[in-house]
Structure 1
Amino acid sequence: MQCHVGHLVCSSCRPKLSCCPTCRGTLGNIRNLAMEKVANNLMFPCKHKQTGCRVSLGLNEKAEHEEICEFRPYSCPCPGASCSWQGQLEKVMGHLQHVHKNITTLNGEDIVFLATDINLPGAVDWVMMQSCFGHHFMLVLEKQEKCDGHTQFFAIVQLIGSRKQAEHFAYRLELNGNRRRLTWEAMPRSSHEGVASAIMGSDCLVFDTSIAQLFADNNGNLGINVTISVVC
């Protein structure tokens, strides 16, 4: 962008300025096409360079890359929590252990995720951490009440890590009891992907109240067998 005299202002700074920083003249929305043409022939580092990204891109590709860059800040992975924390990947577990202390962590590649009181009314989230293979996985069971009164449960696993790391693992969720078995297998979601979109698209273990009652005990507790495996 440029002022009416021709002084240049980058698009990032333009929204923060009320006048030209050089001549104090009025700033409009005048594009400098000559400089844009020059910029399109240059390579620019990703804005997440300081946190590890080594990619350089053309101006027309930069914004799109930065939206999905693996080195962009991670959000708090807790579902249903109004937590606005953001930080680097290596600080996510520290945040969870310091702020979300009520989340239990179990060690091992095979564990039982016990969701208690599944008959509680309304929308409810159950969350647990699983530690194995040098990584942490977040196990989520979400109960949703639809507007028609129909209740559904969504179970999913998320790796506290990047998508590239998640591609090396698979998880299996299994409801087992009363000579019945319900199983779901998939690649865990990454921290950047989160679980919300997968739940919205039913890309996880989905079952309704009647199915839940087949596997729950008399106290309304539901055990989900969780197995994490390494994919070669």
Structure 2
Amino acid sequence: MDWLEQFYDDGLMNKTTEPNTRASKWELEKEKLVLNNVSELLECPVCLTIMSAPIYQCPNGHTLCSMCKFRVKNCCPICRTDMGSIRCLALEKVAKPLEVPYECPLEDRGCKVTGNIPKLITHIKNHALAIMHDGSRIAIDFARPVSLNTWSWKLRVYKCYGCYFCLYIKRFTSSNATGDVAYIRFMGEENEAKKFSYSLEIGGDGQKLTYQGVPRSIRVRNENFLEEGMFVSPSFWEENEQEFRLKLKGQISQN
């Protein structure tokens, strides 16, 4: 695994012992063996990715990541017993030093909080940074004051399929185009994001735009977010100073 190899290589670079001695070679081999064993312990048996908190275990001790717990409908994929809600705290403790924290979905607005997904969700809820939704269906009525040239908009976070998704609408400006881009980001790793897709439709005053795509991970830094969402050009808006009512609809799907 790439992260494990990098972790191991970094450890080797920091070693001060002579690599030609038999003892130091044994120490390095032992360290590599330990890291390989840790990797096997933290590998989810369903999605085969490295687990991080929350990690669940069935009554027989088989472990599972939180996303796959939802996918298998709370049934252990190894022994077929009910998973319940038992957390494997020992394994979570092992995984914690290996976690790479996520940045807050509102990092572009100046938020500096980082952490795992449960921590970020708690942070977002406690500080009312987003409107939270349960379910995969998107249905929003909102207004855009044309004279202000900006959205009456707040980040939306959707909980579905045991995961969280962020719905953004951002202003895009370049030498070739100016408008607004609506897109969805997955709160998790990029390889997990590819297991989902989404559709968006925005309409008002007899006009309609549609888009279908695959969400990117919130880890991805992409200044040109025009490439990953639905572009709404200024010509879509009314040309007067009246408040323009819009309907945004969509669906998040599991592939």
TM-score after normalising by structure 2: 0.56
Task: Please say if 1:107 is aligned against 2:130.
Answer: no
Q: Give the alignment partner of residue 127 of structure 1, picking from 155, 163, 188.
A: 155
Q: Deviations over 1:77-96 (max 9, x none)?
A: 12532111111223221121
Cα distance in 2 for residues equivalent to 1:94 and 1:158: 18
* Partner of residue 140, structure 1: 168
Deviation at 1:113, TM superposition (A): 3.4
Equivalent pairs counted in the alignment come to: 185
Deviation for aligned residue 1:179:
4.4
Check 1:183–1:122 CA distance in 2 against 1; reply closer, same or farther (3 A cut).
closer
The one-letter code of the counterpart of 2:170 is E
**Contact 2:195 2:254 survives alignment (8 Å):** yes
Contact 2:136 2:160 in 1 (8 A): yes
Q: Distance in 2 between matches of 1:108 and 1:10?
A: 46
Distance of 1:159 and 1:80 partners within structure 2: 16
Q: What residue identity is the alignment partner of 1:223?
A: K
| CA distance in structure 2 between the aligned counterparts of 1:154 and 1:130, rounded to whole angstroms | 18
Q: How many Å apart are 1:13 and its aligned residue?
A: 9.2
Give the structure 2 partner of residue 191 of structure 1. Answer: 218
Any idea what SS the aligned residue of 2:212 has?
Answer: strand
Q: Determine if contact 1:118/1:222 at 8 Å carries over to the other structure.
A: no
Distance 1:200 1:110, change over 3 A: closer
1:53/1:88 Cα in 2 relative to 1: closer, same or farther (>3 Å)?
Answer: farther
Separation in 2 of the partners of 1:179 and 1:213? 11
Contact 2:188–2:217 (CA under 8 A) maintained in structure 1 = yes
1:153 to partner: Cα distance: 0.6
Counterpart for residue 20 of structure 1: none
Equivalent in the alignment of 2:254 = 230
Structure 1 residues 198 and 226: CA distance shift in structure 2, 3 A: farther
Q: 1:115 to 1:98 in 2, by over 3 A?
A: same
Instruction: Say if 2:117 is the partner of 1:89.
Output: yes
Task: Report the CA distance between 1:71 and its aligned residue.
Answer: 3.8
CA offset at residue 144 of structure 1? Answer: 3.3
Gaps in structure 1 of 5+ consecutive residues = 1-8, 15-31, 56-69
Structure 1 residues 173, 198: CA separation in 2 closer, same or farther (over 3 Å shift)? farther
Cα gap change, 1:209 to 1:33, in 2 (>3 Å): farther
Q: Equivalent residue for 2:229?
A: 204
SS in 2 for 1:117: strand
For 1:165, the equivalent position in structure 2 comes to: 192
Which amino acid letter does the alignment assign opposite residue 207 of structure 1?
V
User: C-alpha displacement at 1:123, in angstroms?
Assistant: 9.1
Q: Secondary structure at the match of 1:116?
A: strand
Q: Which runs of 5 or more residues in structure 2 are unaligned?
A: 1-10, 50-97
